[in-house]
Structure 1
Amino acid sequence: MRSFDLTPLYRSTVGFDRLFSLLDQATGVEAGVPGYPPYNIERTGENAYRITMAVAGFGENDLSIEARENTLTVKGEKTAEEGKNGEVLYRGIAGRSFERRFQLADHVEVKGASLENGLLHVDLVREIPEAAKPRKIAIANGNTPAAQIEAQAA
């Protein structure tokens, strides 16, 4: 894959840091293994979403979820295995640490998370505040006082 150096753009622009970090992520400049762990993003309602990650072998104590500004970060770090008898001849279940980041749109909030059958479900909802929702503006007719003042001045 071809790598692009965005350094000259960083020097000549102000306020586009988020755009450049998105470009870096799109070009694959992400720490760790880019495809691990696999995940799905699905729409569960008009303003509801769910991220499902395959985290086989990780327990609730091994996972952490953090939402900061418009970024959701899911980290997994396996603690030392205790009480294992015997030696492992083949390890096909990945137990390596990971960190996966998701860029969230404005007004998207994490509503909850659950772990079942090796799948981590993170539920999201977009809640647009009343001030940002479109509103209908009434159009006044020519009989209003402001319209009469403007008509007399002309």
Structure 2
Amino acid sequence: MTTIDFSPLFRSMIGFDRMTSALETAYRTEPGGYPPYNIEVNGENAYRITMAVAGFSEQDLSLEVKENILTVSGGRPEDTDSADRKFLYRGIANRNFERKFQLADYVQVLEARLENGLLHIDLRREIPEAMKPRKIEVNSGAGRTIEANKTQAAA
């Protein structure tokens, strides 16, 4: 396993304590797998995850967000009539799954919908007003107080 030293970055970056653990988690997570998925960028702060979940209904799928981790899972009861059926080839996946996505701060799940065997999950980053850029005027020492002016941030 390759170890990366992030200490030079921490000399000039404040508040990125969780970055190393997030990168290590991403490194351990294997790409691909089941079910296949796409991640799209639909604007500066809009995203969509599309997962191929053919054969699953709305009742079979579960989405949960906890501590900035979106967990999508699917499970179906065992086919009781499959014991009576014989397959020459079985290529349609019929297994349970759980897939996790690490969300950045302020990314919210807007909606999830199932269409034609594809699960679409729409996400949006909504930065709080207090976190948007603002201009700070410097005090000259002549008794003036520091004033903070908020600038227009692209939404």
What is the TM-score when the length of structure 1 is the normalising length?
0.71
Counterpart position of 1:23? 24
TM-fit CA distance, 1:22: 3.9
Match of 2:133 in 1: 134
Q: Which has the higher helix share?
A: 1
Structure 2 alignment gaps of length 5 or more: 4-15, 145-155
For 1:22 and 1:54, locate their aligned partners in 2 and report how far apart those are by CA, in whole Å: 26
Alpha-carbon distance between aligned partners in 2 of 1:22 and 1:137, rounded to the nearest angstrom: 33
Structure-1 separation of matches of 2:111 and 2:91? 30
Partner of 1:78: 76
Residue 41 (structure 2) pairs with residue 43 (structure 1): yes
Partner of 1:112: 111
- Equivalent residue pairs, number: 132
Deviations 1:34-55 (A, max 9, x none): 5111110001122110000111
Please list, as runs of the form range in 1=range in 2, the aligned pairs for 1:47-126 lying within 5 A after superposition. 47-81=45-79, 86-126=85-125
SS at 1:109's partner residue? strand
Q: Cα 1:34–1:44, aligned 2, differ >3 Å: closer, same or farther?
A: closer
State how far apart, in whole Å, the 1-side matches of 2:112 and 2:21 are. 29
Unaligned runs of 5+ in 1: 6-14, 148-154
State the alpha-carbon separation in 2 of the partners of residues 74 and 43 from structure 1: 19
Match of 2:10 in 1: none
Deviation sequence 1:112-146 (CA, Å, 0-9, x none): 00011111110000000001001123467x7x961
Match of 1:146 among 138, 143, 146: 143
Please tell me the root mean square deviation across aligned C-alpha atoms, in Å.
3.1
Report % sequence identity.
56
2:40 is matched by which residue type in structure 1? E
Larger radius of gyration: 1
